[in-house]
A = this chain, B = another copy of it.
Amino acid sequence: MAVTIHEVARAARVSVSTVSRAFGSPEVVNAETRRRVLAAAERLRYRPNRAARGLITGRTGNIGVIVPDLENPFFHGVLKGVQSRAREADQWVFLADSGEDPTIEHELVMQLSKQVDGILLCSSRMRTAQLEQAAAERPLVFLNRKVPGSPSVLMDSAGGGRQIVAHLAGLGHRSFAYLSGPRTSWSNRERRRGLRTAAAREGLEIVELGPYVPRFEAGGEAADTALERGVTAIVAYNDLMALGVLARFAERGVGVPEDCSVSGFDDAPMSTMTTPSLTTVALPKAEAGRAAVDALLGLLDNGDGSERRNDLATRLVVRASTGAPRANRRARTPRKRARMTMSDPV
């Protein structure tokens, strides 16, 4: 059923070697012969079997991508970039979802190794020592993770943090809360670092809360805590949490940004869809995906195993959720919740 190189060879009245060369090293085969071969291939709709090719060349033409959670919006942009760059380079991508489980992640890496030329590990949940070992045995590139000796593409989260602080300071804020993400997260450490250095420089007070699991629901709780601490602005670890804050504030009647400014990190698609829309640090997700594929390809071609780091710039996107604080600050009482519920004491 599937047409092979042999049938093309027969149709073009040449040997299989010539067919192979007509595709792989055109300069070495006679122009007229090549034309004949290509015509035959076209007519027969020949597509080389990449598995068979890989068997001998040692290159599969495939790359593996492992993400912790396919439903996390951050990875969609990354995947989009990976995908488009991979297509340009005529590579195919194997995708797998580790379900945030380091054990599964490791197992996936093992299983995938034989089938791909290299693997891109996004926001890996594995321990660094384990990653170093895994990277020693196969080409690995990391996204949003720093692993000694391995290429990685990182986003300048710290710079994003500094931009937020500058923005808040410019608006007249004197203090803000940071809703911390997972303690083991590299991104969280970086974001905190950026916020801290800028806060110190600008003379802002920073109230650290958390760590929280970086989800929408956690934003709600965190919002309550932050309000009690009397800050005029909240910076969340990511947009999901920031959206949670927004929702809770809307529910409690806390005005954003009049009563409290809110911002996040990611520039997730939904950040534009809320009212007010969310001020956030845009991460170059697609660009990072493309850069990661480039790094992987470089690693494969040049054997360039050096610890090439690729730091991508981030950019604060100011939307409607941040503004100047009210003049009378501290110990502000939020408006009462609009509707009463049956269980309210009379």
Contacts and interface: CB of A to CB of B under 8 A. Distances in A.
Interface of A: 2, 45, 47-52, 54-55, 60, 62, 70-71, 73, 76-77, 79-80, 83-84, 87, 92-97, 110-115, 216, 243-244, 246-247, 250-251, 269-270, 272-275, 277
Contact of A94 (B77, B94, B251): B94
18 contacts: A47-B110, A47-B113, A51-B51, A51-B54, A51-B55, A62-B94, A71-B76, A71-B269, A83-B95, A83-B96, A87-B96, A92-B115, A93-B94, A216-B273, A243-B273, A247-B275, A251-B275, A273-B274
A79 B83 contact: no
A87 B66 CA distance: 13
A70 B84 CA distance: 11
Task: List 7 A-B pairs, minimum CB-CB distance, nearest first.
Answer: A250-B275, A51-B51, A270-B270, A95-B95, A243-B273, A83-B97, A70-B80
B216 A50 contact: no
Interface of A: prevailing SS? helix
Contacts of A52: 51, 55
A54 B246 CA distance: 52
